[in-house]
Amino acid sequence: MTPEKLANNFNRCCDWEERYLYLIELGERLPSYPDAKMTAKYIVKGCQSKVWLDLSCDIESGTLIFLATSDAAIVKGLLALLRVAYHGKQPHEVRLFDIQAWFEALELKSHLTPGRTQGLDAIVKQVHEKLVTDEVLVS
């Protein structure tokens, strides 16, 4: 799914209750996260809920592998949104993608609690920091 298609699906929802349900559904579709990586090394700091994030780079294609999970259903849905935006993209594409403008198009932040917004920003920040510092390892 592309960010544009996801935005279209999201905006087809009648109201925010339906959008939250869609977010939860997206979160349920996330690939399973390995128990072995549910360690402090992969925790995202700045989130109220527990969030584990593992970024790596596919050796053949050079594209980003975005693997994440959370102990909260809505947050898992937000991680699914980020996966659509980042997974399978070249690092330079991730750097150029205006995630904040995409969030605005989804009217996302105006319907999240301040804590969820802060956590979402922390995840995005960590992705970009890892890309800038080349911490994304080739798998």
**Token digits for 67?**
């693997």
CB 79 within 8 A of CB 30: yes
Count the neighbouring beta carbons within 10 Å of the beta carbon of residue 39.
9
Active-site residue, selected from the candidate residues 13, 14, 47, 57: 47
**Token digits for 131?**
């890309």
Active site residue 47: yes
- Which amino acid type is present at position 119? G
CB 49 within 8 A of CB 71: yes
Active site residues: 47
